[in-house]
Amino acid sequence: MALTYTPVDDIPQIVQELRATFKSGLTKPLNYRREQLKGLFNLLDENEELFRESTFKDLHKPPAETLLGEILTVKQECHEAIKNLEKWAAKQPIKTGLVNKMDGVHIRKDPLGMVLIIGAWNYPTNLLLAPAVGAIAAGNTVVLKPSEVSSHTAALITRLLPKYLDSRSYRIINGAATETTVLLEHKFDHIFYTGSGNIGKIIMGAAAKQLTPVTLELGGKSPAFISKEVDLTIAARRIAFGKYFNCGQTCIAPDYVIIERGSEDELITQINAAILEFYTAAPQTSDSYGRIVNKNHFHRLKSILDKTQGKVVTGGDTQEDDLYIAPTVVLGVKPEDSLMEAELFGPILPIMVVDSIDEGIDYVNDHDQPLALYVFSKSSKVTDHILDNTRSGGVLVNDTLTHFLVPGLPFGGTGPSGIGNYHGQRSFDVFSHERSTLVKSLGMEKVNDLKYPPYTEKKISWAAWALFDKAKYSANAANPGANGSDSKL
Ligand code: NAD
């Protein structure tokens, strides 16, 4: 299915229509939002086979990986949003003091308006539609911009979306840099972008011109610490799963391993056993093993692998016309190695051997904060030491990838690995404005007299008493018992 780019001249009209729809209030009633979420759920539910085919064409993605990593996860997000919509959208009451006892004090969850979601190619359904769940649930109109790199899935979603969702409120714009650049000239109320940090800077720059808030879901080199007391068979299986799922093209794939000296040979033996079990001795013929998305990325990875000073102990074979890179492990990788320069985003696992966990912590802290940080350890002392002394978007102890699947856990990066997070209720909140609301009672005018001029000592003293708790806000409260007496306001 060829992907037709949206003519740039059509973009202003589409944006205007969505803006007008939002203004009309169509997307605000909860019933409307719920119906649209059900539509999105059905879109995925009724076309599972088509999605498996399209992602196979785009990425040679094994059908099971499409099901787990794309379809079921977004359906779960839809389900959570439908089930909890009323609760998430409800006014949130705020506890007040004496002075507001007769008033209404709450936070409204208002839709932001018209929002833009820009997806990435590696999970072309999930990364476009999972944020859309939050945007729809929160009552916005939405422009969806799929990644043109996974063109078959982009074309499929473009064809299906108008059949399941209201085109007055949700539209797709297809294209590459040119179309996206034109799109970004328009004013949105929020931009949600998933992709590389380099393009993230362009997106944020364009958003800054309009003071549009952004969520940036970026990448980075996510380390996996392996402590020597852990069961290496289990650690190896779980790392191999996370590294070779979608052929390593996962933003939270364990990018490299940090292991204490002495355990590395056993780890490699166990990773080899896991690769053999998961993908057979000939992974190229395995139905469970994917491919690199295109020639550019294939050559990028091959060139990094060719330059490594480490020892390729597993895999290493490549075939350009099949975009195949074998599940690969490289031992003895030093900090200055080609494999350690940037996020790998492919099925190559460098193993860095350290003399102590602290050496690994220092290495991680000398580099950009990663999107995920993995720890394999039986010891909570070791785990806490690593977590207390590092930073990362998220953490998963004794497994890889699966923290992404927990709807209650906000997913996102920190620093260069991203801004903001989503999933579950956080997705709803990202696309909502928390509007602080105070509804004053029209009674009690005598109490209000205290704030009106002419000011007198007495009035001010009563107003201070009503507004602030003297004990809490006295100078001595910050240093209780300093001189044993209450100070005056
Ligand atoms: P990509 O090439 O699909 O680009 C992302 C989006 O940016 C696409 O929709 C593309 O059309 C658009 N784009 C490209 N050039 C542009 C330009 N000049 N101006 C405006 N828009 C432009 O994806 P990618 O960037 O190769 O994605 C891979 C990266 O994304 C990796 O670093 C990965 O870690 C990260 N990623 C992060 C997450 C996450 O959830 N944090 C998920 C997936 C991927």
Quote the pLDDT of residue 461: 86
Q: Note whether residue 418 is domain-resident.
A: no
Q: Note whether residue 388 is domain-resident.
A: yes
Residue 289's CATH number: 3.40.309.10
Quote the pLDDT of residue 471: 58
State the distance from the centre of ligand 1 to the C-alpha of 295, rounded, in angstroms.
Answer: 17
247 in catalytic set: no
Mean pLDDT of 16-40: 98
Q: Note whether residue 3 is domain-resident.
A: no
CA-CA distance, 31 to 421, in Å (whole number)? Answer: 26
Quote the pLDDT of residue 445: 86
Quote the pLDDT of residue 477: 55
Check whether residue 39 and residue 178 sit in a common domain: yes
479: pLDDT strictly greater than 60: no
Q: Does ligand 1 have an atom closer than 6 angstroms to the CB of 172?
A: no
Check whether residue 155 and residue 271 sit in a common domain: no
Atom 8 of ligand 1, nearest CA residue: 147
State the distance from the centre of ligand 1 to the C-alpha of 205, rounded, in angstroms.
Answer: 15
Q: Give, rounded to a whole angstrom, the gap between the first and last alpha carbons of the chain.
A: 73
Q: Does ligand 1 have an atom closer than 6 angstroms to the CB of 149?
A: yes
Range in 229-238, 330-339, 473-482 the model is least confident about: 473-482
CB 376 within 8 A of CB 224: yes
Atom 37 of ligand 1, nearest CA residue: 218
Range in 115-129, 192-206, 443-457 the model is least confident about: 443-457
What percent of the chain is modeled with pLDDT above 90? 89
User: Alpha helix locations (H) across 324-474?
Assistant: 357-365, 380-388, 425-430, 445-448, 457-467, 470-473
Check whether residue 58 and residue 173 sit in a common domain: yes
- Residue from 70, 78, 251, 260 carrying the catalytic annotation: 251
In sequence order, what are the beta bridge partners of 318? 325
Contact partners, residue 174, CB within 8 Å, separation at least 6: 3, 4, 5, 6, 145, 146, 148, 154, 158
Quote the pLDDT of residue 485: 43
Q: In this predicted model, what pLDDT tens digit does every residue of 351-388 receive, in sequence order? A: 999 999 999 999 999 999 999 999 999 999 999 999 99
Mean pLDDT of 313-327: 98
Check whether residue 93 and residue 231 sit in a common domain: no
State the distance from the centre of ligand 1 to the C-alpha of 184, rounded, in angstroms.
Answer: 15
Q: Note whether residue 441 is domain-resident.
A: no
Atom 3 of ligand 1, nearest CA residue: 120
281: pLDDT strictly greater than 80: yes
Q: Does ligand 1 have an atom closer than 6 angstroms to the CB of 119?
A: yes
Q: Note whether residue 417 is domain-resident.
A: no
Quote the pLDDT of residue 114: 98
Mean pLDDT of the chain: 94
- Extract the tokens encoding 433: 């404005």
Quote the pLDDT of residue 467: 78
What's the structural domain count of the chain?
A: 3
Check whether residue 372 and residue 244 sit in a common domain: yes
Quote the pLDDT of residue 33: 98
Ligand 1 test: best mutation among 3, 151, 196, most atoms within 8 Å of CB?
196
Residue 469 binned pLDDT confidence (cut-offs 50, 70, 90): low
Check whether residue 168 and residue 33 sit in a common domain: yes
CB 372 within 8 A of CB 363: no
Quote the pLDDT of residue 451: 87
217 in catalytic set: yes
Q: Note whether residue 346 is domain-resident.
A: yes
Residue 29's CATH number: 3.40.605.10
Check whether residue 473 and residue 367 sit in a common domain: no
Mean pLDDT of 83-98: 94
Check whether residue 393 and residue 310 sit in a common domain: yes
Check whether residue 320 and residue 404 sit in a common domain: yes
Check whether residue 382 and residue 430 sit in a common domain: no
CA-CA distance, 66 to 73, in Å (whole number)? Answer: 10
Q: In this predicted model, what pLDDT tens digit does every residue of 402-448 receive, in sequence order? A: 999 997 899 999 999 999 999 999 999 999 999 999 999 898 888 88
Domain limits for position 362: 223-412
Mean pLDDT of 52-62: 97
Q: Note whether residue 489 is domain-resident.
A: no
Check whether residue 237 and residue 378 sit in a common domain: yes
489: pLDDT strictly greater than 50: no
Q: In this predicted model, what pLDDT tens digit does every residue of 158-193 receive, in sequence order? A: 999 999 999 999 999 999 999 999 999 999 999 999
Q: Note whether residue 357 is domain-resident.
A: yes
Check whether residue 142 and residue 27 sit in a common domain: yes
Q: In this predicted model, what pLDDT tens digit does every residue of 239-278 receive, in sequence order? A: 999 999 999 999 999 999 999 999 999 999 999 999 999 9
Q: Closest Cα partner for 192 from 207, 175, 174, 211? A: 207
Range in 68-82, 95-109, 293-307, 464-478 the model is least confident about: 464-478
Q: Does ligand 1 have an atom closer than 6 angstroms to the CB of 218?
A: yes
State the distance from the centre of ligand 1 to the C-alpha of 216, rounded, in angstroms.
Answer: 10
Q: Does ligand 1 have an atom closer than 6 angstroms to the CB of 345?
A: yes
